[in-house]
Amino acid sequence: MIFVALILSYLIGSIPTAYIYGRIYKGIDIRQHGSGNVGATNVFRVLGKIPGSIVLILDILKGVIAVVLLSSIFSLNEIWQLILLSLAAVCGHNWTIFLKFKGGKGIATSLGVLIALAVKIVGIRLPLMITVEVWLISFIITSFVSFSSVLAGFAFPLSMILTHQHPLLIAMAVVFGLFVIIRHKPNIERLIKGTEPRTPIGFNKKK
């Protein structure tokens, strides 16, 4: 049963919401515009705030549904089972089978699975809140989604360690952090060169 659940979790995570929305909303391939990434940030830049917000919410929901729904259907409530479901969903978003295994950066879907885990595992609520706050404060100050995401990628495993979470949850947090860094390698290079575009949203407009 766990094998079937993992496949379904991967497939849910694989749904390329940014690509689908770009096709439906503007008849475009989002991969041919902006950064070329199939994620909410690129939709914000190319199509605007409302489309970007919709894709962001949908990507978060993918993670929530993959963990909450599938764990309930297949009665998977052990920590290791929930972790595997979470990783499968994020891998689906990052390397979607529907777009030749080229997907998004995984931040929104990671947030979704972590929200779902926090519903089932009370202990990780504080680390999750700390991580989200780190991302928000960084983004408000810098307008860099990439920098804020990488910073959050470090903050999550560190906060899990400092709050003495289960070793498996700490291992999961480390893996998620590595995913963030690996998927943002081009962004990190652009940040170093000073060519990374900002994503201002109203309150944090910068040139």
pLDDT tens, residue by residue, 59-88: 999 999 999 999 999 999 999 999 999 999
Instruction: Using DSSP, state whether 39 is helix, strand or coil.
Output: coil
Q: Indicate the number of domains in the chain.
A: 1
Q: What is the dihedral of CA 180, 66, 40, 150, to 10 degrees?
A: -20
Residue 121 lies in a domain: yes
181, 23 in Cβ contact below 8 A? Answer: no
Task: Kindly list the distances between the CA atom of residue 18 and the CA atoms of 15, 21, 39, 105, in Å, as whole numbers in the listed order.
Answer: 9, 5, 6, 12
Residue 199 lies in a domain: no
Residue 115 lies in a domain: yes
Residue 198 lies in a domain: no
Q: Which parts of the chain sit beneath pLDDT 50? A: 207
What residues make up the domain containing 52? Answer: 2-193
Residue 113 lies in a domain: yes
Residue 207 lies in a domain: no
The pTM of the full predicted model, rounded to 2 decimals, is: 0.91
Residue 13 lies in a domain: yes
Residue 205 lies in a domain: no
